[in-house]
Amino acid sequence: MKSQKEIIADALYEYLGVSQDEVTATLEYPPQPELGDLALPCFRFAKTLRTSPQSIAAEAADRLQQSGQFEAVEVAGGFVNVHVRRNKVTSSLLSDAAVPEHLFSKQRHSGHTAAVDYSSPNIAKPFGVGHLRSTMIGQAIVRMLRADGFTVEGINHLGDWGTQFGKNIVAFRRWGDENAVRKTPVKELYQLYVRFHEEAKQHPELDEEARLWFKKLEEGDEEATGLWNWFIEESLKSFRQTYRLLGVDFDHFLGESFYNDKMDAVVEELREQHLLVESDGAEVVDLSQYNMPPCIIRKSDGATIYATRDLAAALYRHDVLGADHLIYVVGSEQKLHFAQIFKVLELMGREWASNSQHVSFGMMKYNGEKMSTRRGKIIYLEDVLQRSISEALKIIEEKNPSLENKEQVAEDVGVGAVIFNDLKTYRIHDADFRYEDVLNFDGETGPYVQYTHARACSVLRKAEAAGYTSATAAAAEGAAPLIDSEWALVHHLSQANEFFERAVDGMDPSIMARFVLDLCHRFNRFYHDAPILTAQPEIRAVRIALTETSQRVIEYALYLLGLKSPRQM
């Protein structure tokens, strides 16, 4: 059904001389409820209509009043304040919310395919707290894009190539223990990596030994290749345990090494298009006219680098996977790198390069300090998740020891606390990881949202046990007028699509996190202000329907963010 904004736009766009979408985008929500439910500022139309904002507002108000669609329409200076028919909006909401996906999405991008590159940890290095951001922002974006109509190819671009593997091989051959690696693969390999850097400070010849072993790997040496494959196999076992806890999955695990045989074609095409120039012995694409440094394609020793690999990956994602949108969920420090990649693709004549986007995010710090794998300053994400799960289980044992499936609920709540703590923050901001914040189960947290969902489920169970039914959309339109807390809840629920589209367009899950937090605040106010099961039958039916809608919408919003929704807590 059409929203109230769309109904206003339909009535006014011809008079205002703009598109319906422009009218919709101009509409605002008044800061005080008594001013109305929607407001149209008319100042921007004064120049084209050659009259005052006040005159425009008066004419617009008259047209809206004549449409008979609204409770009241008032003029306040250059504003038109609209009071909607609240029961009619409630009826429309209940109709749309029967399938909560429909309340959020209009399937704007059906027929398009997006390749989303996210998480991408390095083999033989820890899956640390710092990887949480790319992983969960990426997972939420994948789910939101699918909900908006995209076919999505989720890709884990594993760091499984590079000179670090020469260091890993040297460290394992000198100090490694196979059984220890098999027991805790990533932690053991990481300790060996840190030891290599410590030893290399005193014995710089180790760096040359590492370069030689990586050269052997590039040449297909049997021992080097065997160790490299084993490092990957053992690392993936560990990574998959963490992904299982997070509820994250991928369509493709395609590491950097996957593109080793695809880079020569990229270099050749760049050469044929006369895009390569020599610079200090290296081959580069000159980007000076675009105010960027040159994009290095081959180093002076003939080796390819990240840019070559990412160009090959982009071509593969478009040509083989069929993606017409390329999304990279990678830290903000890579901003220049991706700007160069997208510009080179454009210069290569790839029109779809304009649909490529670097979704950057702030750094994850630990107690205010930057983490470093080389210096050993890392916090293992799995350790954090397990600690959070244990904390959740402790709270359950104290408050609801007879809860069914309490171990599973503790996992859902503990993991949800960590995920939500990250996603509720605007993605561009740095995140400072502190246990006391992540494991806080009060306030604007994941457990608070999950508990609100469980509260709604409890009301619905009691209603079902008593034989009470919820109001139909038609019955809601003719029911008693809504009280303020009921309308505040309906008003927010009716904005689900606006929040969702802003989150998708901004590639920012924090907008959905804000939506569901505010929804929970409104539901809890409604729960306290409006007796549900003890109300008169007609009112009770509407309130049960609002509870049911709130439960469905919270559950779906949490799904988009990657959280579970326990029905009991």
- Does any domain span residue 107? no
Say if 225 falls within a structural domain: yes
CA atoms in the 13 A half-sphere facing the CB of 32: 2
The string of DSSP codes covering 206-220 is HHHHHHHHHHHHHTT
* 111 found inside a domain: no
| C-alpha 200: how far from chain center | 40
Measured between its terminal Cα atoms, the distance across the chain in Å is 35
Residue 525 lies in a domain: yes
- Least Cα distance to 413 among 453, 460, 380, 458 occurs for 453
Residue 432: beta bridge partners?
365
Any domain includes 333: no
Residues 496 and 402 reside in one and the same domain: yes
Q: Which two tokens stand for residue 174?
A: 């000198």
40 and 188 both lie in a single domain: no
Beta-carbon contacts of 444 under 8 Å, excluding residues fewer than 6 positions away, are 424, 517
What is the pLDDT tens value at each position of the chain, 569 positions in all?
789 999 999 999 999 999 999 999 999 999 998 899 999 999 999 999 999 999 999 999 999 999 999 999 999 999 999 999 999 999 999 999 989 999 999 999 999 999 999 999 999 988 888 899 999 999 999 999 999 999 999 999 999 998 899 999 999 999 999 999 999 998 999 999 999 999 999 999 999 999 999 999 999 999 999 999 999 999 999 999 999 999 999 999 999 999 999 999 999 999 999 999 999 889 999 999 999 999 999 988 777 789 999 999 999 999 999 999 999 999 999 999 999 999 999 999 999 999 999 999 988 776 666 655 555 567 888 888 999 999 999 999 999 999 999 999 999 999 999 999 999 989 988 877 776 776 666 788 999 999 999 999 999 999 999 999 999 999 999 999 999 999 999 999 999 999 999 999 999 999 999 999 999 999 999 999 999 999 999 999 999 999 999 999 999 999 999 999 999 99
Rg of the chain over all Cα atoms, to the nearest angstrom: 28
Q: Which of 221, 250, 279 is the last residue of a domain?
A: 250
Q: Which domain holds residue 511?
A: 382-561
DSSP string of 84-129, one letter each residue: --HHHHHHHHHHHTTSHHHHH---TTTT-EEEEE---PBTTS--BG
- Number of domains the chain is built from: 3
Q: Which of 41, 58, 84 represents a domain boundary (last residue)? A: 84
Residue with tokens 């326990």: 566
Q: Which amino acid is residue 534, in one-letter code?
A: T
Whether the Cβ atoms of residue 560 and residue 423 lie closer than 8 Å to each other: no
Q: What is the 3-state secondary structure (H, E, C) of 411-450?
A: HHHHHHHHHHHHHCCCCCCCEEECHHHHCCCCCCCHHHHH
Write b or e for each residue in 58-76: b if 16 or more Cβ atoms lie within 10 A of its Cβ, otherwise e: ebbbebbbeeebbeebebe
Amino acid at 168: N
Do residue 411 and residue 528 come from a single domain? yes
The CATH number linked to 487 is: 1.10.730.10
Which helix H or strand E contains 39, and what residues bound it? strand 38-41
Contacts 24+ apart (CB under 8 A), 365-371: 365/430, 365/431, 365/432, 365/433, 366/129, 366/432, 366/433, 367/432, 367/433, 367/434, 368/432, 371/128, 371/129, 371/130
**103 within a domain of the structure (yes/no):** no
538 and 392 both lie in a single domain: yes
Asked if residue 285 belongs to a domain, the reply is no
Q: Give the domain-ending residue among 250, 271, 295.
A: 250
The DSSP code for 28 is: B
CATH number at 47 reads: 3.30.1360.70
Among 430, 418, 449, smallest CA distance to 512 is for: 449
State the angle between helix axes of 53-67 and 4-16 in degrees (0 to 180), rounded to the nearest 10: 130
Report the Cα 95 to chain-centroid distance in Å. Answer: 28
Pairing of strands 252-253, 151-156: parallel
Phi-psi map region of 107: left, alpha, beta (phi>0 left; psi -120 to 50 alpha): left
CA distance 332 to 361: 5
Residue type, 101: E
